[in-house]
Amino acid sequence: MKEYEKTFNKFKDYLKKIDYLNSTEAVLYWDMRTVMPRQGVPYRGEVLSYISEQKYNMLTSDTMKYYIDYFESIDDLDIVTKACYKNCKKVYDKQKKIPKDRYIAYTLAASESEAAWEEAKEEKNYEKFKPHLQKIINFQKEFVEYLGYTDDKYNTLLDDYEPGITASKLDVIFSQLRDAIIDILNKIKESKTKINTDFLKGSFDNKDQEKLSLYILDKMGYDMGRGALGETMHPFTIKMGSDDVRLSTHYYQDDFKSALYSCIHEGGHGIYDQNIDKNLYGTLLSEGASMGIHESQSRFYENIIGRSLEFWKYFYSETKKIFPQFNNVSVEDFYKAMNEVKPSLVRTESDELTYSLHIIIRYELERELINGTISVDGARDQWNKKYKDYLGVTPKDDSEGILQDMHWSDGSFGYFPSYALGNLYGAQFLHKMEQDIPDLYSNIENGSLLIIKEWLNKNIHKYGSLYKPEELIKSVTGEELSSKYFIDYLYKKYSKIYNF
């Protein structure tokens, strides 16, 4: 055993306590969103803010500084120790650079802004939200000044969600993606193929929906022995250590697709979290590599697998057993209905093809808001113009326009690109998976989805955040992130469905 390894073990004992706080927080959130009575909210808020203060103290303590300095002074560290201390150093520096009183002022402004956003959305009134948005943007700009930036202020914000990615890289890949999607959309508009979705109208018992979702999650390899499926307003995945990773969904009696696809999506997140190498516990690296890589896993299952013809060739018979109303619908027609393209105003309701356009619009706008090249006054017109130009639709009010997402109200600038990056990473992983597993599609058609899980476990999941996203994509696929694979995937898929 090398000398530093003994110190690393002590450091891990320290970091494990931060993990315990994270898990405690997760249990409280789960409880809050599933069964806690509404009147419990204020007290729960106090408890959560106490825990978050304890975490802050541990992450910025003298002990933390001591360990960081110690490991920084050693040259021949193994890869885990090195990645661990570097990650801690990044968090430590960041927390220390922002003055505590300014951060507290910001969290207050953010909670006021969230409340104002909720009201403004309800009233469909952007004017009401504007002063709060301005305040949040000012805070973000102030923080960027403390933290420093290279080339573009927005890069510092991106770094929180997608370390290594820059606005100039995004400009290139997102504009290629945007142009390709618009081209495909135009071809679909000209296409004579019309997709019938009438059979998706009707009533679908919530218990039956749950039954189908659980069956599919099991086949995917989500381990219910170390998980749970609950119901909440908005679907999410939450981790309390690798042996307790829970999912939630929301059932709508009149919507067959919504809960099903949110379960498959969250299942992809859940499988990732359940399969991070246990040796990474106590290093703070037992998380996904980035928001974008995490989204690549959920979208991979949701879209690439769960909206494929091969998938439905297997799962359709079980689906018809639970929902006999589909008995007269062919699997091909059913598959097409799962993939209907319909440009719409609301991101969370959009189809696989147009989803990325919703993200690109937000990326283009938030980058300009942070750099001050558009004002909060001008943002709504820009929003509406981009929706008209890219998707051909115009919001009738602000609630289905610029007020639809909560992200800007709580200061999550730099988050949106992760969603579209997830699509790009996923297709690039698929390209490599197809080479590694030549009979991939016949496996899907036979319901043997575990082969996919094993490939993802081996190449992506087990590493947690040991590697940065750019290192991971390079080591798995041999190439840097490119828009090519997702664009090829989209052309191939939609030209078959819409005959162009």
CB 230 within 8 Å of CB 34: yes
Q: Which is nearer to Co ion, 283 or 298 (CB)?
A: 298
Residue number with the smallest Cβ distance to Co ion: 298
Which of these segments, 57-65, 102-110, 218-226, 293-301, binds Co ion (CB under 5 A)?
A: 293-301
Q: Which is nearer to Co ion, 298 or 412 (CB)?
A: 298
Taking residues 294 to 333 in sequence order and writing x for each that binds Co ion by CB under 5 A, - otherwise, the string is: ----x-----------------------------------
The minimum distance between CB 26 and Co ion, in angstroms, equals 16
Residue 5: partners with Cβ closer than 8 Å, 6 or more residues away: 81
Distance of CA 166 to the CA centre of its chain: 18
The minimum distance between CB 364 and Co ion, in angstroms, equals 22
Distance CA 27, CA 454 (A): 28
- Residue by residue, DSSP assigns 389-431 as IIIS---SSGGGTTTS-STTTTT-TT-THHHHHHHHHHHHHHH
3 state SS of 449: coil
Residues annotated as part of the active site: 266
Which of these segments, 13-21, 291-299, 328-336, 379-387, binds Co ion (CB under 5 A)?
A: 291-299
Distance of CA 231 to the CA centre of its chain: 19
The minimum distance between CB 386 and Co ion, in angstroms, equals 23
Strand blocks (E) in 154-292: 227-231, 236-239, 245-249
The minimum distance between CB 291 and Co ion, in angstroms, equals 9
Residue 219: partners with Cβ closer than 8 Å, 6 or more residues away: 315, 447, 449
The minimum distance between CB 260 and Co ion, in angstroms, equals 15
Taking residues 250 to 289 in sequence order and writing x for each that binds Co ion by CB under 5 A, - otherwise, the string is: ----------------------------------------
# chain residues binding Co ion, by CB under 5 A: 1
Six-digit token string for 144: 């960027």
Report phi then psi at 245, rounded to 5: -125, 110
Q: Which is nearer to Co ion, 81 or 303 (CB)?
A: 303
Distance CA 92, CA 64 (A): 8
Q: Which is nearer to Co ion, 156 or 237 (CB)?
A: 237
Q: Which is nearer to Co ion, 87 or 298 (CB)?
A: 298
- Quote the DSSP letter at residue 164: T
Per CB under 5 A, contacts with Co ion among 342-361 are none
Per CB under 5 A, contacts with Co ion among 25-64 are none
Residues at the site binding Co ion, with contacts judged by CB under 5 A:
298
